[in-house]
């Protein structure tokens, strides 16, 4: 289990490496989604020891929010393990192009049956709730996969995908 601030800093560093500004609310959504997908994939176990509440603007870990309210803290960070880093990379790849509002809407749709999510009254969202929201029992595919990357002869990075032949048109 990694400290929540270390995971938040990992996302901030990743955004900086891609020359992207990571809004505070989007960061909170990414932390929540990482926790939710991890909880769903690992039988309710937590990725980070975080306390998430949902208010009118979306999910929020008050401790991380306070720690980062004046910018990135000058602390010694512990990098996540290789397995966790690969998982976080998959989360980043899946959600990096969505803004905070779209991520909040995704979370609201997934949690429509959960009182803490639908009320938005700063109630706690537990790991069991996130497991129900993002688990496979809700009829949607939630598997987070990391794309396989390779380098071309010229040094350009490319994503490797499975080739499927085109269907022949039948008349």
Note the pLDDT tens digit of each residue in 111-146.
Answer: 877 777 778 888 888 777 877 888 765 444 445 555
Q: Which residue has the higher pLDDT, 29 or 113?
A: 29
Q: Which residue has the higher pLDDT, 152 or 140?
A: 152
Q: Look at residue 17 in the predicted model and tell me its pLDDT.
A: 92
The mean pLDDT value for 51-79 works out to 85
Q: Which of 142, 28, 14 is nearest to 85 (CA)?
A: 14
Task: Please determine, for residue 147, whether its predicted confidence score (pLDDT) is greater than 70.
Answer: no
Tell me the CA distances in angstroms from 146 to 50, 89, 93, 160, one per residue in order: 24, 7, 8, 11
CA-CA distance, 170 to 80, in Å (whole number)?
A: 52
Q: Look at residue 50 in the predicted model and tell me its pLDDT.
A: 86
Ramachandran angles phi, psi of 126, nearest 5°: -80, 170
Considering the entire predicted model, what is its pTM? 0.76
Highest mean pLDDT, choosing among 11-25, 58-72, 136-150, 154-168: 11-25
**Residue 27: how many other CB atoms lie within 10 Å:** 21
CA-CA distance, 144 to 122, in Å (whole number)?
A: 28
Task: Please determine, for residue 101, whether its predicted confidence score (pLDDT) is greater than 80.
Answer: yes
Q: Which residue has the higher pLDDT, 87 or 168?
A: 87
Domain boundaries, the chain: 4-144
Task: Please determine, for residue 28, whether its predicted confidence score (pLDDT) is greater than 90.
Answer: yes
Task: Please determine, for residue 163, whether its predicted confidence score (pLDDT) is greater than 50.
Answer: yes
């Amino acid at each position: 289990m990694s400290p929540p601030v270390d995971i938040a800093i990992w996302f901030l560093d990743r955004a900086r490496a891609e020359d992207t500004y990571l809004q505070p609310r989007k960061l909170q959504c990414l932390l929540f989604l990482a926790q939710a997908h991890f909880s769903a994939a690992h039988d309710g176990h937590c990725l980070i020891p975080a306390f998430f509440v949902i208010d009118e603007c979306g999910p929020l870990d008050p401790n991380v929010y306070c720690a980062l309210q004046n910018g990135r803290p000058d602390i010694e960070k512990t990098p996540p393990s290789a397995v966790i880093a690969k998982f976080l990379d998959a989360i980043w790849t899946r959600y990096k192009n969505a803004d905070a509002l779209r991520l909040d809407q995704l979370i609201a749709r997934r949690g429509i049956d959960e009182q803490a999510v639908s009320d938005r009254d700063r109630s706690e969202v537990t790991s069991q709730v996130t497991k129900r929201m993002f688990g496979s029992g809700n009829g949607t595919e939630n598997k987070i996969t990391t794309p396989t990357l390779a380098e071309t002869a010229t040094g350009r990075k490319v994503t490797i995908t499975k080739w499927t032949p085109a269907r022949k048109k039948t008349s």
